[in-house]
Amino acid sequence: MDILFFSAQPYDIHYFNQANQQGEHRFRFLEAQLNEDNTALIKEETAVCVFVNDKVNAAVINILHEKGVRLIALRCAGFNNVDLKAAAAVGIKVVRVPAYSPHAVAEHAVALLLALNRKIYKAYNRVRDNNFTLNGLEGFDLFGKTIGVVGTGNIGAVFCKIMLGFGCKVYAHDIYENEELLEAGVKYVSLDTIFGQSEVISLHCPLMESTRHMINADSIASMKMGVVLINTSRGGLVDTAAVVAALKNGHIGALGIDVYEQEEHLFFQNFSGSIIQDDVLSRLTTFPNVLVTAHQGFFTKEALTQIAEVTLNNIRSFEKSELLLNEVK
């Protein structure tokens, strides 16, 4: 099948070519994002392969339909950037990669937590500057602390198990309880209890209308002073302006984010020679207790290999008119 990739980075090209060594499909890779301005780039392709920040709204979908595209293959798990109703209305199928190395994202959440708590990013710079003092690098033992986990699906479950391994008390909130986690010692509690009792809160639930801005001025007010907040899920779960206010008054003790509400205008691109126009992100990066990574939680060899293989399997199933196991409806 002819597939047009949007938002393609060198690593996408590498891993997709590796998964297509038999030459089953023909690829065209574009760095450009898919949005209303870029649909003219589509030629003969039957499928478009998109990532988290491509804008696949109703207007784009109608143009895809006119151009003969019959499949939207997401090379990610989240699908909040695709108008599924509009796709169904014109008969375009949407497939995704529902799970790929949950360890990659869970371990990244832990990396953010450890780096923030033990000030590894500061220590790295300090030692390189021949400054071997410890003032300001003090952290706290994670052992025995209460960790609140919102969402215990694939990624949240792995995160819970890692935290149990650290000797933490793990509180979780989800609409479904995971038996294996219960047996391992995780306690399911209300969202209010997570907010009120946790020293660290990590978000692993999807972004939906019901979860948008679940971290807001009111929920922050109910949290412990100095709480550490980690978000590797989706930026929209957090009201960033409220978080900035809470960082300023010390209510939030540290913030680690791999996702940001307005990331689609910034992440995966190099603006090192430019002035960033996003004042909220610019403010965030001035705090000494904030660590921002640019949506790299998924970025391991294992996850990239799986993403490429599952995406091409999805496309193969579509081409052969087989049951689409990973269809999003």
Choose, from 295, 309, 319, 327, the residue flagged as catalytic. Answer: 295
Residue 87 makes contact with ligand NAI by CB under 6 A: no
Q: Of 306, 292, 238, which Cα lies nearest the Cα of 98?
A: 306
Q: Which of 295, 310, 314, 315 binds ligand NAI (CB under 6 A)?
A: 295
Three-class DSSP category at 102: helix
Residue nearest to ligand NAI (CB): 153
For helices 102-117 and 301-319, angle between their N-to-C axes, nearest 10 degrees? 150
Site residues for ligand NAI, window 190-219 (CB under 6 A)?
A: 204-206, 210-211
Size of the site for ligand NAI (CB under 6 A): 29
Compute the distance between CA of residue 290 and CA of residue 242 in angstroms, rounded to an integer: 14
12 binds ligand NAI (CB under 6 A): no
Residue number with CB closer to ligand NAI (59 or 189): 189
Stretch that binds ligand NAI, among 14-22, 31-39, 228-236, 307-315 (CB under 6 A): 228-236
Part in contact with ligand NAI (CB under 6 A); list of ranges 3-11, 111-119, 230-238, 282-290: 230-238
Question: How is the chain split among helix, strand and coil, in percent rounded to 5?
Answer: 35, 15, 45
Instruction: Report how far residue 92's alpha carbon sits from residue 268's, in angstroms, rounded to the nearest whole number.
Output: 27
Segment 106 to 145, residues that bind ligand NAI, using CB under 6 A:
none
DSSP 263: G
Binding characters for ligand NAI, 141-180, by CB under 6 A (x = yes): ---------xxxxxxx----------------xxxx----
Contact partners, residue 243, CB within 8 Å, separation at least 6: 215, 220, 229, 252, 255, 284
- Which residue of 96, 119, 145, 234 would you call a contact of ligand NAI, by CB under 6 A? 234
Tell me if 82 contacts ligand NAI by CB under 6 A: no
The question of whether 234 is a catalytic residue gets the answer yes
- Shortest distance, CB of residue 207 to ligand NAI, whole angstroms? 6
Beta strands in 75-168 (DSSP E): 93-95, 146-150
Where do we find the tokens 């509009």?
Answer: 86
| Minimal distance, residue 137 CB to ligand NAI, in Å | 27
Tell me the C-alpha to C-alpha distance, in Å, between residue 244 and each of 69, 116, 149, 241.
Answer: 42, 17, 21, 5
Instruction: Please identify which of the residues 199, 234, 251, 261 carries the catalytic annotation.
Output: 234
Phi and psi at residue 82, in whole multiples of 5°? -115, 130
Tell me how far the alpha carbon of residue 134 is from its chain's centroid. 33
The distance of closest approach from Cβ of residue 74 to ligand NAI in the complex, given in angstroms and rounded to an integer, is 11
Cβ closest to ligand NAI, residue 47 vs residue 105: 105
Per the CB < 8 A criterion, the answer to whether 74 and 95 are in contact is: yes
Q: Which residues bind ligand NAI (CB under 6 A)?
A: 77-78, 99, 102, 105, 150-156, 173-176, 204-206, 210-211, 232-234, 258-259, 295, 297-298
Residues with catalytic function: 234, 263, 295
